[in-house]
Amino acid sequence: MKISLNTKILDKNEQAAKQNREFLAGRKLDCLNLISSPGSGKTTILARTVADLKGKLRIGVIEGDIKTDHDSQRIRAAGAAAIQIETEGACHLSAQQVGWALNQLPTADLDIVFVENVGNLVCPSAFDLGESGRVVVLSIPEGDDKPAKYPGTFAQCDVVLINKIDLLVHLAFNLDRVLTDIHTLNPQAKVLQISAATGQGMQLWYDWLLNRRKKA
């Protein structure tokens, strides 16, 4: 019973994801799904990216939170269109919710849509949103055991942003272990060391983003 129902929920999500993928392809829109623990710095990364890439990349953002619209306010203050989805308890965004939000955004005037998923290192990775790429954010204070403990999430992404790298000096964090574990789980994933707070390494991330645009 459990399996058949979960299958039905996932089937419905998969149909909506397919529609989103077609919508994005029709408009040549890139779409990145950001997944991480609560507090890894997703919103700070996006707000800084919006401000720094003004005039270079036209960005829209879909914000997923259980409660509050603080994050979409922060993105709008940085200068991008943002749509907030409050999941009211649900632990991840669904493709249906993202489809609704895509229709609210001025997609004709955008190059890329970032979807900031609910802060949760587990559930969001099981739900295809129809995105064209997936970003996992891991912050230094979370500890160096996270790729090993959450292998499914790290195995299914295009890039891992190791954020808050400026805090490395204050904490016991084995960066070599993390790089090795990510490479074992996902040899194709690009891994970038950044600090959205200080700006360190952010250019690597911008180059990666702009390079995707050229290839598309």
Binding site for a second copy (CB under 8 A): 1-2, 5, 8-9, 37-39, 65-68, 70, 89, 91, 118-123, 126, 139, 141-143, 145-146, 148-152, 164, 167, 170
Residue 107: CB minimum distance to a second copy, A: 27
Rounded to whole angstroms, the Cα distance separating 208 from 42 reads 17
Residue 2: CB minimum distance to a second copy, A: 6
Residue 68: CB minimum distance to a second copy, A: 5
Q: Which residues of 78-105 are buried (b: 16+ CB within 10 A; e: fewer)?
A: bebbbbbbbbeeeebbbbbbbbebbeeb
Residue 130: CB minimum distance to a second copy, A: 21
Q: Which is nearer to a second copy, 25 or 51 (CB)?
A: 51
Rounded to whole angstroms, the Cα distance separating 36 from 136 reads 6
Q: Which is nearer to a second copy, 27 or 76 (CB)?
A: 76
Q: Which is nearer to a second copy, 110 or 185 (CB)?
A: 185
Rounded to whole angstroms, the Cα distance separating 185 from 182 reads 5
- DSSP per position, 67-126: S-SHHHHHHHHHTSEEEEEE-TT-SS--HHHHHHHHHHS-GGG-SEEEEE--S-SSGGGG
Q: Which is nearer to a second copy, 102 or 178 (CB)?
A: 178
Q: Which is nearer to a second copy, 18 or 177 (CB)?
A: 177
Q: Find out whether 86 and 117 touch, Cβ atoms under 8 Å.
A: no
Residue 151: CB minimum distance to a second copy, A: 5
